[in-house]
Amino acid sequence: MLWVDKHRPHALDKFAHANVSTAEHLKRLVADGDCPHLLFYGVSGAGKKTLALAVLREIFGPGVEKVKVEGKTWKIEQGERKIEVELTTMSSNYHVEMNPSDAGNKDRYVVQEVIKEMAKSRPIDAAGNQGFKGAFYLTLVDNLSKEAQHGLRRTMEKYSQACRLVLVCNSVSKVLDAVRSRCLPIRVAAPSTTEVEALLHDVAKREKLTLPPELAGRVAAHSERNMRRALLSLEACRAHQYPFTPDQVVQGTDWEAYVAQIANEILQEQSPKRLLQIRGRLYELLVNCIPPELIMKKLARELCRKIDVELKHEVAKHAAFFERRLAEGSKAIIHMEAFIAKFMAVYKKYIIASFG
């Protein structure tokens, strides 16, 4: 088991970083016996999922940790049309965890029909101390289409007596006001670098490792206040070399090194043949569940780091443009490839003008 899962706090009273006050507030809210729909938002790696699962455990008990993974196909009738929606869910006797945006442009059918069907079929004896039968834990709500979010609003209203929705997103600005107004928003703050260092020392102590403060500081700085990334980097350092040394190189993730390699290949050659090769590498990242937003952000950073200062402003402008297209579209590969093609055109024109 990865350290990021092994040392994840499972109860609200176990939080000891930036969100300890938020955890205490949630614990009082559950104790009062009237927990509303919840919307957790904050940057990646701040602890949104951990807090959400801790709330469910506070409501239903440790049974929510006994989950099973199930892939299922729903057949939905829309007038004369029959639509099939494939979705993977994780569920216990008390909650269902899913990412509706995995269904792509069919996400509205997930929130309108799939959740409705599952809400009706929840067992009566699954009721917790709040009086409702179960909860739905939905991730990446900010990636849902507007139609899906409107459907989610209607689902929240219709089944509020039977279940509660726990929503998680990175950017609350991408969630419709109609959905936000029906939830209690919980901002999950990113930990400071000092708090990330304290977490690394705590995990090292539990694993019976000696962690030099210098290495802990560099791992914390490399993580950019992302606790998940910090723990993964520390575990990678442990696998690469132990005992630790103060000047040891911080190990990055494999996908980051792969994106840096893609950036080098783009700079070496700008041609349709090279673009086709890059497409295959992007597909490899996507099938390994690396979020396209992270790929785009890392790729833009790597390219800007290796080009002349005259080009950086224009490349950043195009990256922002295609990142917006990426958020609005349904096929991530199209927009990432379009950004790379645009960069190739701009970079080749600059090289010809400079040295031609």
Identify the CATH number of the domain in which residue 289 sits. 1.20.272.10
- With respect to residue 9, please indicate whether it lies within any of the assigned structural domains: yes
Q: Is 212 found in the same domain as 159?
A: no
Domain-ending residue, one of 144, 166, 187: 187
Q: Is 169 found in the same domain as 34?
A: yes
The mean of the pLDDT values for the chain is 84
- With respect to residue 247, please indicate whether it lies within any of the assigned structural domains: no
Amino acid present at 110: V
Q: Is 38 found in the same domain as 149?
A: yes
Q: Is 176 found in the same domain as 97?
A: yes
The size of the chain, in residues, is 356
- With respect to residue 274, please indicate whether it lies within any of the assigned structural domains: yes
What is the CATH classification number for the domain harbouring 103? Answer: 3.40.50.300
How would residue 273 be classed by pLDDT, with cut points 50, 70 and 90? very high
How would residue 125 be classed by pLDDT, with cut points 50, 70 and 90? very low
Q: Is 226 found in the same domain as 325?
A: no
Highest-pLDDT range among 51-60, 204-213, 328-337: 204-213
Count other C-beta atoms under 10 Å from residue 109's C-beta. Answer: 22
Domain count, the chain: 3
Assess contact for 71 and 103: CB atoms under 8 A.
Answer: no
Q: Is 214 found in the same domain as 301?
A: no
Q: Is 290 found in the same domain as 166?
A: no
Q: Residue 248 pLDDT more than 50?
A: yes
- With respect to residue 70, please indicate whether it lies within any of the assigned structural domains: yes
- With respect to residue 34, please indicate whether it lies within any of the assigned structural domains: yes
- With respect to residue 249, please indicate whether it lies within any of the assigned structural domains: no
Q: Is 201 found in the same domain as 178?
A: no
In this prediction, residues 102-110 reach a mean pLDDT of 76
Q: Residue 145 pLDDT more than 90?
A: no
How would you write the chain as a 3-class SS string?
A: CCHHHHCCCCCHHHCCCCCHHHHHHHHHHHHCCCCCCEEEECCCCCCHHHHHHHHHHHHHCHHHHCCEEEEEEEEEEECCEEEEEEEEEEECCCEEEECHHHHHHHHHHHHHHHHHHHHHHCCHHHCCCCCCCEEEEECCHHHCCHHHHHHHHHHHHHCCCCEEEEEEECCHHHCCHHHHCCCEEEECCCCCHHHHHHHHHHHHHHCCCCCCHHHHHHHHHHHCCCHHHHHHHHHHHHHHCCCCCCCCCCCCCHHHHHHHHHHHHHHHCCCHHHHHHHHHHHHHHHHCCCCHHHHHHHHHHHHHHHCCHHHHHHHHHHHHHHHHHHHHCCCHHHHHHHHHHHHHHHHHHHHHHHHC
Q: Is 199 found in the same domain as 118?
A: no
Lowest mean pLDDT of 117-126, 153-162, 185-194, 236-245, name the range.
Answer: 117-126
Query: What is the structure's pLDDT at 18?
Result: 61
Domain-ending residue, one of 240, 275, 307: 240
Backbone angles phi, psi at 249, to 5 degrees: -70, 135
Q: Residue 207 pLDDT more than 60?
A: yes
How would residue 140 be classed by pLDDT, with cut points 50, 70 and 90? confident
In this prediction, residues 109-137 reach a mean pLDDT of 66
How would residue 133 be classed by pLDDT, with cut points 50, 70 and 90? low
Contacts of residue 116, Cβ cutoff 8 Å, sequence gap at least 6: 155, 158, 159
Scan for tokens 């980097």, then name that residue: 233
Q: Is 73 found in the same domain as 92?
A: yes
Q: Is 26 found in the same domain as 7?
A: yes
Task: Give the domain range for residue 351.
Answer: 254-355
Specify the pTM: 0.78
Query: What is the structure's pLDDT at 122?
Result: 55
Q: In what order do the strands lie in the sheet with 95-98?
A: 68-78, 81-91, 95-98, 134-138, 163-169, 38-41, 184-187
Q: Is 340 found in the same domain as 215?
A: no
- Closest-CA residue to 278 (of 296, 291, 265, 260): 265
Lowest mean pLDDT of 142-146, 220-224, 337-341, name the range.
Answer: 142-146
- With respect to residue 291, please indicate whether it lies within any of the assigned structural domains: yes
pLDDT, tens digit (0-9, with 9 covering 90-100), for 54-90: 888 888 888 888 888 888 787 777 777 788 877 788 8
- With respect to residue 246, please indicate whether it lies within any of the assigned structural domains: no
